[in-house]
Structure 1
Amino acid sequence: MKFAAPRSPSPSPSRSRHRKHANPLRRSTFGVPSDSEDSDDGLSETESSVTTSSDEAAADSEAEEAKPQLRLSRRGRSSKDVDEIEAMVASIRLRATHTDVYEEWENQTRKDAFISARHEQAEMRAKQKETHARLLQEAEKQRAALHQQQVAEVQARLKMFNTQLQKHESQLREFWKQRDKEMWDRVEHAIKIEEDKVKVRLEAERRAREEEERKRKEAEEKARLERERKQQEEEKKRKDEEEMRQLLLRDAQQKQQEEELARQKEQQEQAEAQTRQQAGLTTAKEDWMKARDLLGKLKNKVMRPVKANPQLKQLLNAGRRGVTPKIGQLTNDAESIVRITQLVIQIVNPPPPNASQNLSLSDDRKQVYLATLSALAKAILLQAETEVTAEKRSAIPLGQVTANFLAHLERFPNIFWARLCQRAGAWPIPFVVPGADFDGAPFDAEGAARARGLRRRDEPLGEHLQRVAGMMRVYFTVLAAGAAFERQLDPRFRVQRYWQYFARLLSQPQLLDSPVAAEIIYVALDVFGAKAKEIWGVQWIKVLELLYECATEGINGQQGRLLGGSAPEGIAARTRVQLEIERIMGA
């Protein structure tokens, strides 16, 4: 470390005196720096390293050298130069003998620094040794770990080699076992072949003997059969002649009877047709064909033209948005039923009473009115499929408000009937759906499914049964609620239709095999069964007896052919029918 500190002024008065007169720009010929230079410059590194004793020796040597020079200067120089030289020598002597505290401190500091440096060097060497020892220890640990890893790898390889050796030995043992087995199998197979040859030879000899015996017996049997055949032919010929005479006689009598029965049946059908026409009754087939015809006209001549016209479609959508929420707001109280009926009639806005009854008219108001009625019928049926399926008591207000619409909205009975037969199939009639439509066009697979009331061909039976049962519950509720205005309703929605429905259903055993029929019978008995007993009395009890016989013994007395079939849904519905009949008869 270097230190630079100003030197203290010299106490010598002669030095001070001569310094005043000395030229500051003139340098000493002795090469000794002046006091001003010493005060400005720091001690050099060489001077800092010299001790005090060495400084005194240097001063003495300089004094000795200065003496002969002084003599020489006195001979050749002026007094002024001599004075300067003397002043300089005095200054050097004073400098050589003067003790400077700063220099002593600097020397002591240098010594302390040297001692501290040696201590730091010793500590650093100790740390280096410690670090070196630690590094050696870590290197030793790494070498030990590497050694352990290599030992483990060698052991693993040895273990793998042992495993492979054992596996190879096992494969060799299995190979030799398989080889021995194949060799013995070949030996046994050769023995078996020889045994089979002997058996075949013995069997051939036995069959030859049996064949000879069989041929002998066949010859004897053939001769006997030939004699019997001739006798039987003669007997058969005689019997055939007798049977032919009897058959011709029976055919003549049967043909005469069939002609008589056909004539009587034709007369009966003509009489029944006249009676039905006079009474306003129709057959199940006529009802189905009329429903299909109404549905086709409703789609092609009403809904399509209205939906194709943007203005009419907007009016239809407004009516649908007004009608559908009202149907969903029904509750089972008279005030709600009356209020909803009035609101819906106002929304539908029926045409004047003298409007034409033909669906083919193109009057815009008439088309929108009929399309709105179709939307109303669809809303009622959708409500029946959802709400009534979940809670059967909700069918009461829905059936009552539907009966009000049927009695007060013109053309609504036909549209509601077409929509009902569309979504429930032929079950509202009831009728077995034929293979062709009302116009004679054959059904495809999808068309036949829709005609039977299925949403799609693969609709599950349980889902289809619940939907149809919900709609039919509303239909039977309409029949029960229509007694209040019987004359205002269409014949398809009067109470008499209830009796006609069971008469048609029981006359078609093919329908009774379906689980849907059993469920509909239960719904009909649950809605109106007890009331029907009060209306028709003993005749209704006979119908109940026939239904109970179909559910317990079999349809038309056929064992095993029970009402509803053998499906789980049919069995459950059949049980409900039995319980409901017992409840009605008990009441």
Structure 2
Amino acid sequence: MRFGLTRSPSPSPVRQSKRSSTFGLQSDSESSSEENHDATESDTESSLSSSSSDSFCYRDESEIPLPPPRPRREFSSPAEQRYVEETLASIRLSIRHHDPYEEWEKQTRKDAFRTARREQRDAQSEHRARHSQRHAQEIARLNRVHEAQLADVQRQLATLQMKQQSDIDKYVQQWKERDRKQRDRIESTIKKEEDSLRARLEAEHRAREEEERKQKEAEEKQRAEEEKKRQEDEAKRKKQQEDDAEAKRLDEIEQKRKEQLQAEEAGRRQMGVTTAEDDWSEARKVLKNLKAGPMKTVKGTKELKSQWSAIRRQITPKIGQLTQDSESVNRITTQITALIQPMSPLPEPIYLASLSSLSKAILLQAETEVTAEKRSAIPLALVTSHFLATLPHFPDVFFAKLVQRAGGWPIPSAVPSRDADGTPWAGEDARTKAMGYRNSGANGERETAGEYVTRVAGLMRVYFLVMVAPTPPDRAPPPRMYQLPRFWAYFARMLGQPRLLETAVAAQVLHVALDVGGAEAVNVWGAQWVKLLELLYEGATKGIAGAGERLIGGQSAEGKAARVRVQLDVERIMQAIQG
């Protein structure tokens, strides 16, 4: 039980928690320390003992100011004085009294507070653990959901890829089938045209025979002979006039072309570009030097000739054994390379003569096999490309032999009236041989125009395949006459020479070139190639430079058939571009 009195004023009060003074009365030390300890232990207990926490405290007893002097009070009676003294004694007794119940209550509150703090701490720890566990479980659940979604997306992607691949395979198969049908249609059209031309030629042949018979009957009459002679003279005169006018016009065009080439000569030399005449002269010079040098030396020496003949006899059958199989191509190229480049190098004359024999074997195989089946040109082109990159001097020798057997068509260029060294030809037969014509038959007669066209086409198919063949990354690029830009230059030169375009050989060679690389050239030259194809199509349908009587291929049977092939090739390429 506590008693409260009115506080006495203090000059400078300082609150402390260790010692306290209650209205100037000294409390029991044990009770005061107990209360201060309880105040530090719990805020709740401090609020309950308001008398201790709200009292003024000092650091030391010496700092406690003396109470002001109390005014002397006069008691009215001895009873009043006694009452005051008893009251003070009761207060002192209450202050010094030690109550066990209060101590037990204070200790109980402290224990309850500690228990509550411990339970709160355990509850918080358990709450944090449950929260962490729920968080981990939620993360694991989200990871499982994400993995399931990822697996589903991957399955869908795999399904789409399989569907896409299936569509691609279907489209490729459809394209192959359409291409096959188109080739069959083209071949059937060409065959029909050839049959029609063949029937027409036979009809014309029969008509000529009938006319010759009539002419023989007319020879018996003098008047008919004189009339016929007059008519022939008149026709010859007109034809001569037309030929002279045409020759004059072509000479003017040729003269302008030569003047333009002369004006551009400096620029061509600077860029390393040559003209058709330069290429033909260079090939002829290589051929003549080969014949006058190594070939003459080898053939004039018995030992060298024997060694060269042994190599040549092995080269020819190996070239004849080529097939479409890549293993066959690799095996034969390896064997021939071992013959021409053995471990101990051959003498230079034998080496060059062997290169000439190898070139001749390839070209003879092209003349015989490619004319019958154009796909047989592929292994020949592969073998040729390999040797062009691996055998020194083979590019020059092969091109010289190609010009020897095909004339000026590999360039293309018309064979001039003089040889490469400026000397005139020994005769018309020598110039005809330089043009690539060969003698056939037992009587040594010159081959027909149809045979010549077919043979040159087989040679040029191999040459064009070598041009458009991709160069493997481990090989050096081939010389310029075998590179892809030469394909464009070939067409540009051909279109610049109307005389060549009017021959049947030109039309057949253009057909071969378009069949080999016409479609792939669009990816290289784009719109410029399309313009060139337009010029070719115009020359095959409307005439060269718009002249309807001067068509590509001329008016011969072989030229007409080749012109139709050129027209169909251009249409096929344009359809592929537009499709």
TM-score interval w.r.t. the shorter chain? Answer: 0.5 to 0.7
Q: Does 1:527 align with 2:489?
A: no
Equivalent residue runs for 1:44-443 within 5 Å? 272-349=264-341, 365-443=347-425
Q: Distance in 2 between matches of 1:508 and 1:440?
A: 22
1:502 to 491, 507, 511: 491
Q: Distance in 1 between matches of 2:367 and 2:321?
A: 16
Q: Does 1:455 align with 2:443?
A: no
Which string of whole-angstrom CA distances, capped at 9 and with x for unpartnered residues, describes residues 80-104 of structure 1?
A: xxxxxxxxxxxxxxxxxxxxxxxxx
Which string of whole-angstrom CA distances, capped at 9 and with x for unpartnered residues, describes residues 266-305 of structure 1?
A: 7x75773333223322100000111111110111111121
The question of whether the paired residues in 2 share the 8 Å contact of 1:482 and 1:489 is answered with no
Q: Distance in 2 between matches of 1:299 and 1:563?
A: 36
Which string of whole-angstrom CA distances, capped at 9 and with x for unpartnered residues, describes residues 23-80 of structure 1?
A: xxxxxxxxxxxxxxxxxxxxxxxxxxxxxxxxxxxxxxxxxxxxxxxxxxxxxxxxxx
The question of whether the paired residues in 1 share the 8 Å contact of 2:553 and 2:560 is answered with yes
Read off the aligned partner of 2:272 and give its amino acid letter.
G
Q: Deviation at 1:379?
A: 0.2
Q: Does 1:569 align with 2:558?
A: yes
Q: Distance in 1 between matches of 2:476 and 2:507?
A: 31
Which string of whole-angstrom CA distances, capped at 9 and with x for unpartnered residues, describes residues 336-378 of structure 1?
A: 222211111111117999xxxxxxxxxx700000000000000
The root-mean-square deviation of aligned C-alpha atoms, in Å, is 2.1
Q: Does 1:446 align with 2:438?
A: no
Q: Distance in 1 between matches of 2:526 and 2:297?
A: 50
Which runs of 5 or more structure 1 residues have no equivalent in the other structure?
1-260, 354-363
Q: Distance in 2 between matches of 1:273 and 1:554?
A: 31
Identity of aligned residues (%): 54
The question of whether the paired residues in 2 share the 8 Å contact of 1:330 and 1:337 is answered with yes
Q: Which moved more, 1:537-546 or 1:475-484?
A: 475-484
1:481 to 464, 469, 490: 469
- Compute the TM-score of the two structures, normalised by the length of structure 2: 0.52
The question of whether the paired residues in 2 share the 8 Å contact of 1:424 and 1:468 is answered with yes
Q: Distance in 2 between matches of 1:522 and 1:470?
A: 12
Identify if the C-alpha distance between structure 1 residues 563 and 477 changes in structure 2 by more than 3 Å, giving closer, same or farther: same
Identify if the C-alpha distance between structure 1 residues 467 and 351 changes in structure 2 by more than 3 Å, giving closer, same or farther: farther
Read off the aligned partner of 2:420 and give its amino acid letter.
F
Q: Distance in 1 between matches of 2:542 and 2:554?
A: 12
Q: Does 1:467 align with 2:455?
A: yes
The structure that is helix-richer by fraction is: 1
Q: Deviation at 1:401?
A: 0.9
The question of whether the paired residues in 1 share the 8 Å contact of 2:471 and 2:477 is answered with no
Partner of 1:584: 573
Identify if the C-alpha distance between structure 1 residues 488 and 350 changes in structure 2 by more than 3 Å, giving closer, same or farther: farther
Q: Which moved more, 1:326-335 or 1:503-512?
A: 326-335
- Rg larger in structure: 1
Q: Distance in 1 between matches of 2:504 and 2:262?
A: 35
1:550 to 539, 546, 556: 539
Q: Distance in 2 between matches of 1:294 and 1:529?
A: 31
Q: Deviation at 1:483?
A: 3.5
- Compute the TM-score of the two structures, normalised by the length of structure 1: 0.52
Identify if the C-alpha distance between structure 1 residues 558 and 487 changes in structure 2 by more than 3 Å, giving closer, same or farther: farther
Read off the aligned partner of 2:432 and give its amino acid letter.
A
Identify if the C-alpha distance between structure 1 residues 562 and 270 changes in structure 2 by more than 3 Å, giving closer, same or farther: closer
Partner of 1:493: 482
Q: Deviation at 1:442?
A: 1.3
Read off the aligned partner of 1:275 and give its amino acid letter.
G
Identify if the C-alpha distance between structure 1 residues 449 and 271 changes in structure 2 by more than 3 Å, giving closer, same or farther: closer
Q: Distance in 1 between matches of 2:512 and 2:479?
A: 22
Q: Distance in 1 between matches of 2:470 and 2:419?
A: 31
